[in-house]
């Protein structure tokens, strides 16, 4: 059986590795000329680690962890709103969240595939979904490639999604814009975690290699870029507590990533058409407030490979894809909604709501320490299908 996977992001690589491990011939078509992930850091959650375990590489990613200790949500002036304990998370879910560079996690996934799998610098330009009489095929500028399965893992602006679901509105602007930095960790004591205030958020994640992955999010009109992104970050966050001004100051301006956040407000009606599966951001782009986009993409990839990987005919592929949609479409839609709700809570612009939120979170963390973790059950307690 042959699969073509379009897109070498976390979703595409996971699906490709899972199918390859089940004996499929796999081709990964990637428009970039090098396998280099967009973005700097990534939080791999316990559900993502279980997806990686299904491919046999969970421990390779666990080893990348810098800390599994305490983290905190605090206010811009440094007062702590609530703490989360890494040990309590490990007790409940078997793992803590593993902060890592994107490239280190991607290297682990790329290592699962033979080098000849990749067709780099090739852009998919269209797809025909196939039916009971015709195999699906992928159109690139220079070729039409047939396969038994095509996987559309081409990210938030997916052109394959537009071809498969032309009636769908696609991903819409969430109103939030985000910056990402990877800088040397400043000297001094600070707690990893997030800082929330006035509709803005700043995340601080030290990594094992002596650097810190930091991200910031705020409201802005769609499409705005700033001539000096570093000055803009300083304007918005420069008065926040240590080490935020220091992290911004340490960033080389040309390395600061700035992206508007798009989300799939309207869910897709299915996660397949004919013999083409869709996964990751292409299927369910979500805001980053739950840190789940890549984790969900990896869940998709592993689930798809488990459900379709044993197929020996187009009929069996069709049956596996129907199960894939049944399992993944409700979960993807739920994660988009949860991330959006989390964003509204994190980035509340109403002072009274913000005060109530901080008070409620502080009380809950003191009186029912397990409450925050329990609330994460539907997100991170996921297990791959057998």
Ligand X SMILES: Cc1cc2nc3c(=O)[nH]c(=O)nc-3n(C[C@H](O)[C@H](O)[C@H](O)COP(=O)(O)OP(=O)(O)OC[C@H]3O[C@@H](n4cnc5c(N)ncnc54)[C@H](O)[C@@H]3O)c2cc1C
Site for ligand X, rule CB under 6 A:
6-12, 29-32, 39, 42-43, 123-124, 153-155, 159, 178, 180, 215, 259, 261, 280-282, 288, 291-295, 297
How far CA 36 is from CA of 7, 120, 179, 194, 324, in Å, comes to 12, 11, 18, 27, 28
CA gap 161, 168 in Å, rounded: 9
CB nearer to ligand X: pick between 78 and 86: 86
Dihedral angle sign, alpha carbons of residues 284, 287, 290, 293: positive
Q: Least CB distance from residue 356 to ligand X, whole Å?
A: 27
Q: Answer left, alpha or beta for residue 56, where phi above 0 means left and psi between -120 and 50 means alpha.
A: left
Question: What is the crossing angle of helices 314-346 and 371-380, to 10°?
Answer: 150
Instruction: Say if CB 120 and CB 30 are below 8 A apart.
Output: yes
CB nearer to ligand X: pick between 171 and 327: 171
Q: Least CB distance from residue 342 to ligand X, whole Å?
A: 13
Q: Least CB distance from residue 289 to ligand X, whole Å?
A: 9
Q: Least CB distance from residue 54 to ligand X, whole Å?
A: 16
Upper half-sphere CA count for residue 128 (Cβ side, 13 Å): 14
CB nearer to ligand X: pick between 206 and 358: 206
Q: Least CB distance from residue 169 to ligand X, whole Å?
A: 19
CB nearer to ligand X: pick between 24 and 202: 202
Q: Least CB distance from residue 117 to ligand X, whole Å?
A: 14
Q: Which ranges constitute the DSSP H helices of 259-313? A: 281-284, 293-308
CB nearer to ligand X: pick between 344 and 359: 344
Closest CA to 283 of 263, 303, 302: 263
**How does strand 71-74 pair with strand 193-197?**
parallel
Closest CA to 244 of 194, 304, 294: 194
Closest CA to 93 of 385, 384, 377: 377
Say if residue 177 is exposed, middle or buried (CB neighbours under 10 Å; 0-12, 13-18, 19+): buried
Q: What is the largest CA-CA distance in the chain?
A: 65
CB nearer to ligand X: pick between 7 and 192: 7
CB nearer to ligand X: pick between 256 and 261: 261
Q: Least CB distance from residue 10 to ligand X, whole Å?
A: 5
Q: Least CB distance from residue 363 to ligand X, whole Å?
A: 27
CB nearer to ligand X: pick between 281 and 354: 281
Instruction: Say if CB 311 and CB 324 are below 8 A apart.
Output: no
Counting every residue written for the chain, the total comes to 386
Q: Least CB distance from residue 36 to ligand X, whole Å?
A: 9
In three-state secondary structure terms, 212 is strand
In three-state secondary structure terms, 87 is helix
CB nearer to ligand X: pick between 23 and 126: 126
Q: Least CB distance from residue 364 to ligand X, whole Å?
A: 23
CB nearer to ligand X: pick between 156 and 365: 156
How far CA 185 is from CA of 205, 308, 344, in Å, comes to 9, 44, 30
**How does strand 98-101 pair with strand 41-44?**
antiparallel
């Amino acid at each position: 059986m042959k699969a073509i996977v379009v897109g070498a992001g976390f979703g595409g690589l996971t699906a490709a590795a899972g199918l390859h491990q089940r004996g499929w011939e796999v081709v990964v078509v990637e428009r970039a000329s090098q396998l280099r992930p967009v973005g700097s850091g990534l939080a791999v959650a316990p559900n993502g680690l279980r997806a990686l375990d299904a491919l046999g590489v969970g421990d390779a990613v666990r080893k990348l962890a810098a800390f599994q200790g305490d983290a905190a949500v605090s206010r811009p002036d440094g007062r702590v709103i609530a703490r989360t304990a890494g040990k309590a998370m490990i007790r409940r879910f078997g793992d803590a969240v593993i902060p890592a560079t994107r490239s280190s996690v991607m290297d682990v996934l790329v290592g699962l595939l033979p080098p000849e799998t990749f067709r780099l610098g090739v852009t998919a330009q269209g797809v025909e979904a196939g039916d009971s009489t015709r195999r699906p095929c992928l159109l690139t500028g220079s070729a039409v490639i047939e396969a038994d399965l095509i996987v559309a893992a081409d990210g938030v602006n997916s052109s394959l999604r537009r071809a498969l679901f032309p009636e769908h509105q696609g991903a819409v602007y969430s109103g939030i814009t985000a910056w990402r930095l990877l800088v040397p960790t400043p000297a001094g004591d600070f707690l990893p975690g997030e800082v929330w205030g006035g509709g803005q958020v700043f995340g601080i994640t030290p990594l094992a290699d002596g650097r810190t992955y930091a991200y910031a999010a705020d409201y802005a009109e769609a499409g705005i870029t700033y001539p000096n992104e570093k000055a803009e970050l300083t304007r918005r966050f420069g008065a926040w507590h240590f080490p935020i001004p220091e992290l911004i100051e340490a960033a080389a301006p040309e390395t600061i990533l700035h992206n508007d956040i798009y989300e799939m407000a309207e869910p897709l009606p299915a996660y397949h058409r004919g013999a083409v599966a869709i996964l990751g951001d292409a299927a369910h782009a979500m805001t980053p407030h739950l840190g789940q986009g890549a984790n969900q993409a990896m869940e998709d990839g592993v689930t798809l490979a488990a459900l379709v990987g044993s197929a020996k005919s187009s009929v069996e592929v069709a049956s596996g894809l129907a199960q894939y949609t049944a399992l993944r479409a409700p979960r993807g839609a739920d994660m988009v909604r949860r991330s959006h709700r989390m964003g509204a809570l994190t980035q509340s612009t109403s002072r009274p709501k913000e005060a109530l939120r901080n008070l409620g979170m502080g009380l809950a963390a003191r009186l029912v320490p397990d409450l925050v973790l329990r609330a994460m059950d539907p997100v991170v307690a996921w297990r791959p299908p057998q």
